[in-house]
Structure 1
Amino acid sequence: MTPQPPVRTAETHQERLGLPWWAWPASLLIGAILATELALGVSGIPNWLPYAVLLPISVLLLVPLGRLRVTVDGDEFLVDDARLPVAVIADVVALDAAGKREALGVGAHPFAFVVQRPWIGTAVQVLLDDPADPTPYWVVSTRRPVELATTLLAVSRRARAAQAS
């Protein structure tokens, strides 16, 4: 019996905000340019040594950037290591590129929680209703903003209804 992938319902969302394909060759190119500079500029070291050191480092530096996960699971909204109980979500707004730029612009609140990736144009803005928390909202990059906003609203309404009863 083969393992089945997790069933995605209207109340779950999983997404990994990986790097675009061009980031990997660009990183290797930058590493190769730096290695060439070192090989030509520093005498007394073998020519292959800067390449053997800098090319793997240039790839390893990108690995953490592509590991960010955005998940709605149960009663929590998880963005990497940050956790938000869905019961404190007042509203969710799906943002296109212009909306994301405006939400992160000069009018942004200084206490806002922001997890954004510049290579992802869209995002969601999660407005909070928690008197104990000074954070007014979260802005989180996502490739599927409408799906994430719909999921968060559904889970939040369910959690608030359960609290009220």
Structure 2
Amino acid sequence: MWLIVAFVGGTGFVAVAPISIAVGVIVAAVLVVAIGLVLTLGAPRIVLTNEDLRVGRAYIERRYVGEAVAIRGADARAARGPDLDGRAFMNFRVSVPELCRISIVDPVDPTPYWLTATRHPDELARAVNEGRVRD
């Protein structure tokens, strides 16, 4: 993803450099910083509290959160593709290949699980499982 950001900055430089090299450098820097900020600040946040779990704008009460499992490598590719349940809540990022699958135990919610991309799937799964409400 950051290579694309660098490419856009380089493209901005090349587009403006014939007019002025200094302005081309400024345009490239502004583009790289602006796109970098959008990517960083625009990433959905995962927030887990004693009351709820939030992934981006999605939210569920903690009592309806079941077991969480970290998924990596070929299993993550399969989870995003052939093994994916269309009813699941999905939060994928191209630049983050690891996933965490969080089961939903609400009897009236048709969503079987949440599947979210995270750079730390083991830590998220551990945190969800440690605070789970068990019957």
- Alpha-carbon displacement from aligned partner over 1:56-89 (angstroms, at most 9, x marks no partner): 3564344332122222122211212221212112
Question: Of 36, 39, 62, which residue of structure 2 is paired with 1:65?
Answer: 39
TM-score (norm 1): 0.64
Counterpart position of 2:9: 28
Task: Work out whether 1:102 is the aligned partner of 2:78.
Answer: yes
1:53/1:127 Cα in 2 relative to 1: closer, same or farther (>3 Å)? same
- 1:82 and 2:63 correspond: no
Alignment of 1:45-56 (within 5 A): 47=19, 51=24, 56=30
Other-structure match for 1:121: 97
Computed over aligned residues only, the root mean square deviation of the Cα atoms, in angstroms, reads: 2.7
CA distance in 1, matches of 2:55, 2:38: 14
Query: Is the 1:75–1:155 contact (alpha carbons within 8 Å) kept by the matching residues of 2?
Result: no
In structure 2, distance between residues paired with 1:104 and 1:145: 15
Question: What is the deviation of 1:27?
Answer: 3.3
Do the aligned partners of 1:87 and 1:156 also contact (CA within 8 Å) in 2? yes
Secondary structure, in 3 states, of the residue corresponding to 2:124?
helix
Q: Which has the higher contact order (CA 8 A, sep 6+)?
A: 1
Contact 2:8–2:31 at 8 Å: present in 1 too?
no
Q: Quote the Cα distance in structure 2 between the aligned partners of 1:91 and 1:139.
A: 12
Residue 156 of structure 1 aligns with an amino acid whose one-letter code is R
**Structure 1 residue 134 corresponds to structure 2 residue 115:** no
The alignment of Structure 1 onto Structure 2 pairs a total of residues equal to 130
Structure 2 residue runs of 5 or longer lacking an equivalent are none
Q: Tell me the secondary structure at the aligned position of residue 126 of structure 1.
A: strand
| TM-score, with length taken from structure 2 | 0.76
CA distance in 1, matches of 2:111, 2:39: 24
